[in-house]
Structure 1
Amino acid sequence: MRLKLTIRGRLTLVYGGLFFLAGLVMLGVTYVLVSRQLLTGVAVKATPIDPVQGRTVDGTEPDLLFRRAVEITRDDALSALLTQGGIALLVVGAAAVALGWLVAGRMLQPLHQITDTARRIAEAPAADRSLHERIALKGPDDEMKRLADTFDVMLARLDRSFDGQRRFIANASHELRTPLTLNRTLLEVALEKDAASPEVIQLGTTLLAINQRHGRLIDGLLLLARSERELTERSYVDLADIVEHAAGDEVKTELAEAATLGDPVLLERLVQNLLDNAARHNLSTGGWVRAATGTRNGWATLQVANSGPIVPRYEVPALFEPFRRLTGTDRLAGSGGAGLGLSIVRAVARAHGGDVHIDPRDEGGLVVTVALPAAQAWS
């Protein structure tokens, strides 16, 4: 298993390694200088010499005794130098490594602040939920400060972009609702006239159907914009209760408690969209829809499965994108949907701190699983 060190650990190792290397070089240079100095500067205590024989009292030659004394003294001094110097190097080196660890942590503290802010934004239930947060790093105008300021500028631009997108969707949807309502009223009045010909009635009926479809599209856009906003209030909701009330007789259910905290209206729309999609995009004959709820590992889950044509796995991600539909099959063609069903489901799930996952069935159809934090997980 490969050991992965943090930047702080690597900086400490580099600093400590350089310190020990410099200490070893200094100890080696000191050893050489002291060794040379001892060759010329060591004094030997005089030993009595016999005047008759010209030798010392113990019988050794004076020069030999001098050289031996010098060597013994030099070896002892150098040995003491290496021993004491090595011990001192280890003690001071350990202190230097500990100091390097503290200094590296202090120097990397701004980077930790940047990382923590980025993590909070990335882990927010909705992608644009915490873009209003800023690092606001204080300190000297160094590389870390410039990095934090650049990150803040990027967050500000993203925040303005997402906020402008939400406002545009909401405003455009509200503006489009007025003429649609007026057109529907005029068509209904025209169809109620006794003098209306069959052609006019057929045309009016077709226009009313188109008007209703556009109305569903606008309602979906409004709900999608609302789903991507932060939830300010949460209440106790059991997904099993919603499925029980929303599922028709044709839906086979297996319901267990799946309590979460959230917006009941949004969660009801999430369940209704899944059931409607499963029924709409199903086999014309012999199809089935199943819904199951439960709690597992701290998550309240809702699973909706249906029969239907085989869906390629590589086309599954496109199902979450607004107005994107599968091509090459009749699964979505002419279904009358607005193309926002699963987009709303994912937006609602993420707004509640959860997510949605789709698995194509080998026999055809899909299995859609929604996981939301269980009620006790929020307490």
Structure 2
Amino acid sequence: MAGGWTVRVRLTVLYGGLFLLAGAVLLGVTYLLLAAALEKQQLKPAVVYAEGAGMEADAPVSTGGVAISKTDMAAQQSAIDLKMSFARQVQLDLNAQTLQSLLRWGSLALGGVAVAGVWTGWLAAGRTLRPIAQITATARRVADRNLHERIALGGPRDELRELADTFDDMLERLDRSFDGQRRFVANASHELRTPLAINRTLLEVAMGQPDAPQQLRQLGTTLLEVNARHERLIDGLLTMARSEQAVVDPVPVDLAEVAGNVLDQTQAPGVDVRHELRPAPTSGDPVLLERLTQNLVDNAVRYNSAGGWVHVTCAHEGTRTRLNVVNTGPVVRAYEVPTLFEPFRRLTDRVGSARGTGLGLSIVRSVARAHGGEVHASPRDGGGLVVQVTLPAN
């Protein structure tokens, strides 16, 4: 991990260090105990000199009844002392070699224990952190607005199980809250559609009367425009409520074909609409993807300048499918771009943009996220916007 060690690496180092420390302590204790035991053990000269086998170093010398001189006795005593000194030296050398052998082979064994400890620690850390990895994977899927996911962690009821259960409870409450919000928006939008349809019908009937005065016709035209704007607003709310969750049953879709159909139906007086569409396979909801493309093209045409142009490109690049919409128009500052994706936010005032609802790019972002994609916008040099939609390729 950039900037530091992962938790698994730190646990592995901790486990390996504990193994190494325990092995070093055990080797040290063994060394001290063996050194003490060897110090207490006395090597007798009879063991060193084969010709003296069975004779104790300090045993009395037999003379066979023959008197010996003091000089001979001194020589014999000197020989005995020499044997004992030599036996002591042999014992010291043997002790040193034994301890050195212990250290040499013990160090090799300690190195093997350290390697085994690190490997065992790596496996143990991975097994310990496996529930956390499961929680992280679920959290990432939830971040893609798939609130129906649950961790459902098994195993003993320990701290990790308690954390996973708490996370599942939180997801359950969030899921109910978002479902309630979507149902409210959908129900309210459906309920509002009926009176708007009635208003439109009454206005059209009143304006269709042969004796209708001119003022009534002008007022009816204005009211019909306002009514149509409200219908588009409600339709946009319905689309947002539908696109706030991941697509359940995606089907193969060619984004280039969708963009071609949208461009064929687009009316852009005074704006040159260009396109370069290559096969761009993806998967998802065709209706939502068509709405995404239509909103991008409509915004590019609506917020344009006289004699301007719109360029739509679509292509398949590796594992991604990209749709780019570039247009001329008013200068957009970089700090204003993020606000374009917020609902009911527009750069121009409501009077100058009465045809819009302020939901165009918000719907685009919601639909893209529902399909596992993303939207990026940036100002174009000279005015206008560059909007890029990236979706997973099929």
> Do Structure 1 and Structure 2 share a fold, with TM-score over 0.5?
yes
1:349–1:97 distance in 2 versus 1, CA, 3 Å: closer
> Where does residue 392 of structure 2 map in the other structure?
373
| Counterpart mapping for 1:80-99 below 5 A | 80-99=101-120
Following the alignment from structure 1 to structure 2, what is the Cα–Cα distance between the partners of residues 3 and 198? Answer: 74
Of the candidates 330, 340, 359, which is equivalent to residue 359 of structure 2?
340
**Equivalent in the alignment of 1:257:** 279
1:212 paired residue number: 228
- Match of 2:174? 158
Q: CA deviation at 1:121?
A: 3.0
Structure 1 position 331, deviation (Å): 10
Q: Give CA deviations for 1:259-316 in whole Å, capped at 9, x if unaligned.
A: 3333333222222211111111011x23222222222223332221111111111111
1:360 aligns with 2:373: no
The residue number in structure 1 matching 2:132 is 111
Partner of 2:158: 142
Paired letter, 2:368: A
Q: Note the C-alpha offset of 1:82.
A: 1.4
Instruction: Number of aligned residue pairs: give it.
Output: 366
What are the equivalent positions in structure 2 for 1:167-206 lying under 5 Å apart? Answer: 167-206=183-222
Measured after TM superposition, the shift of residue 4 of structure 1 is 5.4
Task: Tell me which of 309, 314, 334 is aligned to 1:313.
Answer: 334
CA shift for structure 1 position 134:
1.1
Q: How far is 1:63 from its partner?
A: 5.5
* Superposed displacement of residue 175, structure 1: 0.7
Distance 2:366 2:282 in 1: 16
Tell me the secondary structure at the aligned position of residue 283 of structure 2.
strand
Secondary structure at the aligned position of 1:108 is classed as helix
Deviation at 1:174, TM superposition (A): 0.4
Partner SS state of residue 282, structure 2: strand
| Matched residue, 1:14 | 14
CA distance in structure 1 between the partners assigned to 2:392 and 2:2 by the alignment: 35
Structure 2 equivalent of residue 133 of structure 1:
149
User: What is the Cα deviation at residue 237 of structure 1?
Assistant: 2.8
Task: Evaluate the alpha carbon distance shift between residue 307 and residue 149 of structure 1 in structure 2; reply closer, same or farther with a 3 A threshold.
Answer: same
**Aligned sequence identity (%):** 55
Structure 1 gaps of 5+ residues are: none
Q: Which residue of 1 aligns with 2:254?
A: 237
Hey, what does 1:267 align to over in structure 2?
Answer: 289
Question: Does structure 1 residue 276 correspond to structure 2 residue 298?
Answer: yes
- How has the CA–CA distance of structure 1 residues 255 and 138 changed in structure 2, closer, same or farther, with 3 Å as cutoff? closer
Letter aligned with residue 259 of structure 1: P
Q: Structure 2 counterpart of 1:34, which letter?
A: L
Secondary structure of 1:140's partner? coil
1: CA distance, partners of 2:252 / 2:32: 80
RMSD, aligned α-carbons? 2.8
Do the aligned residues in 2 keep the contact of 1:246 with 1:272 (CA within 8 Å)? no
Partner SS for 1:304? strand
Distance 1:297 1:332 in 2: 44
SS at match of 1:302: strand
Is residue 287 of structure 1 aligned with residue 303 of structure 2?
no
3-state DSSP class of the match of 1:144?
helix
CA distance in 1 between partners of 2:178 and 2:11 (Å):
39
Distance, in Å, in 2 between the alignment partners of 1:91 and 1:16 is 11
Would the aligned equivalents of 2:44 and 2:84 in 1 still touch at CA under 8 Å?
A: no
CA distance in 2, matches of 1:305, 1:103: 53
Structure 2 Cα separation of the partners of residues 118 and 334 of structure 1: 40
- Given that 1:281 and 1:335 are in contact with CA atoms closer than 8 Å, whether structure 2 keeps it comes out as no
Q: Which amino acid aligns with 1:73?
A: L
Q: Deviations over 1:108-153 (max 9, x none)?
A: 222222223223333xxxx32x211211112222111111001101
Measure the CA separation in 1 of the matches of 2:310 and 2:243.
26
The equivalent position to 1:61 in structure 2, one of 82, 86, 93, is: 82
- Of structures 1 and 2, the larger Rg is shown by 2
Aligned to 2:62: none
Of the structure 1 ranges 219-228 and 256-265, higher mean CA displacement relative to structure 2 is found in: 256-265
The alignment's TM-score, normalised by the length of structure 1, stands at 0.86
For 1:2 and 1:106, locate their aligned partners in 2 and report how far apart those are by CA, in whole Å.
Answer: 23
Q: 1:159-198: CA deviations, max 9, x gaps?
A: 1122111111110100111111122222223333455444
Amino acid at match of 1:278: A
Question: Residue 356 of structure 1 contacts residue 369 of structure 1 at CA under 8 Å; is this kept in 2?
Answer: yes
Structure 2 spans left out of the alignment, 5+ residues: 58-71
The DSSP-based 3-state class of the residue aligned with 1:53 is helix
Matched-pair contact (CA < 8 Å) for 2:256–2:280 = yes
- Residue 228 of structure 1 is matched in structure 2 by 244
Check 1:333–1:298 CA distance in 2 against 1; reply closer, same or farther (3 A cut): same
Q: Deviations over 1:83-108 (max 9, x none)?
A: 23223333344333333333323222
Residue 324 of structure 1: how far off its partner (Å): 1.3
Q: CA deviation at 1:52?
A: 4.1
Cα distance, 1:91–1:273 mapped onto 2, change above 3 Å: closer
Q: Distance in 2 between matches of 1:104 and 1:233?
A: 38
Indicate how the Cα distance of structure 1 residues 89 and 215 shifts in structure 2: closer, same or farther if over 3 A, else same.
Answer: same
Q: Aligned pair in 2 of structure 1 residues 294, 356: CA closer, same or farther (>3 Å)?
A: same
**Offset of 1:55 from its aligned partner?**
4.6
